[in-house]
A and B are shown apart, each in its own frame.
Chain A
Amino acid sequence: MNLAITLATTRRILAQLRHDHRTVALLIVVPSLLMILLRYVFQRQEAFDRLGPMLLGLFPFVVMFVVTSVATLRERTGGTLERLMSMPLGKLDLLVGYALAFGLAALVQVGVVLVISLTWLGLDLTGSLASLVLVAVLDALLGMALGLFASAFARTEFQAVQFMPALVLPQTLLCGLIIPRDQMAGWLEALSRVLPLTYAVQGMQEISTRPRFTGTLATDVAVIAAFTVAALLLGAATLRRRTV
């Protein structure tokens, strides 16, 4: 790995984002809009205080999954990945370059949603702001890593976008957002335990209800980080120097 090449890659991806005003707008505006909707759909502040943070864990995950899977699919089909693989760029340079760029984008995204939620929407956060940002950015990185991995199995951008509902919607149903996990059938609960989004949502639940950084939250953070690293390693395995 080479720091200069990694940072150049981050800069390049951010430049691509900068040229794409519409994607930036979608990245920033959509999650904020959804939070505003959520607040006014619920009417009751307690319900918003409970669900708001969970959605703050979900948005960056979903958005980064889609953005990264399409962006890396473009690199694969557009020949730029092959070109980079013939140059002195390490696979980690590319992966970490993506992680830094989209991590930064996630930070801005979460920052905007948070400012709106904490001021205008009056979100009452029991836990610390720092741990919320930590979990949200980790979720974004997890989405990014899974998107990068998933892009290896798509031939077209159309397919890549379809992976989002296929991978994300079942997790959304099982993660405890809609029905608490202890009320689910045993096998569904067992299934939910091996899905990363479960820990993302559980972490956010902890933050919204407990003032301290609890042991459960620490476990959640560790599990999300482990999933992210595993997905990045799987993603690295799909980057090949030689192809048929």
Chain B
Amino acid sequence: MMSSSPAVRVRDLRVVRGGREVLHGLSFDVPRGRVVGLLGPSGCGKTTVMRALVGVQIVRSGQVTVLGEEAGSPGLRDRVGYATQAPAVYGDLTVAENLRYFASVLRAPRGDVDRVIEEVGLTGNRDQPVGTLSGGQHSRANLAVALLGSPELLVLDEPTVGLDPVLRRELWTLFRELAGRGVTLVVSSHVMDEAGRTDRLLLMREGRILADGAPAELRERTGAADLEEAFLRLIDETAGSPA
């Protein structure tokens, strides 16, 4: 029953970075075919969680299971797409050259390059060196790499930061489409209005999960009008409790 098991299963994850523990025993599940938002203040550990899911983070203890295998195992390397927060593409190559290279590494079909360029709306910048792209274009080129091939899990670290509302809406439509095809997405964001577009939210604070549930559920539970308010109330609720 592989397909009914969660796409991601994290148990008691502890990570130490720079001599400090930055994740203090996180546990959560991500069901398959869902869009899950990872939200929380800057420095709370979102990127660290995502690195652990992809298997590039050294962890102190705990279990991270992705698509039924241990995170980072060789069998997962073409099943998980990862878009880093800081763009990780070659600035001296064009958009198409970058994508062609990463497509070869992933053994993705040739036509994928054009498909993902189209999906992130960079058709007009296909042959432009990545180093000369605008900030938002640069981050879309970075996102395009994660879309190559047919990943079953997409880990996207702030993919919509610095983009205008129209582009943001287009990308969220794309994310929904992918989820409709059974792809699982874990998307981090700072923007609360984006949180409402997810199926599930993981609210993080200082290396812990503060809340885990559907956006409507979180609003209801806190009696807040919007998610930003709900988030602030959750922080107040836990502020008194011992760390």
Query: What is the total number of residues of chain A having a CB less than 8 Å from a CB of chain B?
Result: 25
- B84 CB contact (under 8 Å) in A11, A15, A16, A79: A79
- Report yes or no: B106 in contact with A88, Cβ–Cβ below 8 A: yes
Q: Is there contact, CB below 8 Å, between B129 and A87?
A: no
Is residue A178 contacting chain B, with contact meaning CB distance below 8 A? no
Chain A residues 1-34 with CB under 8 Å of chain B are 4-5, 8-9, 11-12, 15-16, 19-20
| In the complex, chain B residues whose CB is within 8 Å of the CB of A86 | 54-56, 72, 77, 80, 82
The answer to whether B55 and A88 touch across the interface, beta carbons within 8 angstroms, is: no
- Whether B101 lies near A82 (C-beta < 8 A) is no
Residue-wise interface mask of B (172-210) relative to A, using a CB-CB cutoff of 8 A (1 in contact, 0 not): 000000000000000000000000000000000000000
Query: Across the A-B interface, how many residue pairs have beta carbons closer than 8 Å?
Result: 79
If A79-B86, A79-B88, A241-B72 touch, whether A84 touches B17 (CB-CB below 8 Å) is no
Task: List B66-88 residues whose CB lies under 8 Å from chain A.
Answer: 72, 74, 77-78, 80, 82, 84, 86-88
B229 within 8 A of A: no
Chain B residues with CB under 8 A of A19:
92-93, 129
Interface residue A243 (Cβ < 8 Å from any Cβ of B): yes
In this complex, how many residues of chain B approach chain A with their Cβ under 8 Å: the count is: 32
Q: How far is the CB of B127 from chain A (nearest CB, A)?
A: 12
Q: Is the CB of A243 within 8 A of B88?
A: no
CB contact list, A74-92 vs B, under 8 A: 78-80, 82-89
Bitwise, B27-49 to A at CB < 8 A (1) or not (0) is 00000000000000000000000
A interface residues, Cβ below 8 angstroms from B = 4-5, 8-9, 11-12, 15-16, 19-20, 78-80, 82-89, 241-244
Task: Give the 6 A-B residue pairs with the shortest CB-CB distance, closest first.
Answer: A79-B88, A8-B104, A88-B77, A12-B101, A83-B88, A242-B58
**Beyond A12-B93, A78-B90, A84-B105: 14 further Cβ-contacts under 8 Å?**
A5-B104, A9-B105, A12-B101, A19-B92, A79-B86, A83-B102, A86-B56, A86-B72, A87-B105, A87-B106, A88-B74, A241-B56, A243-B58, A244-B17
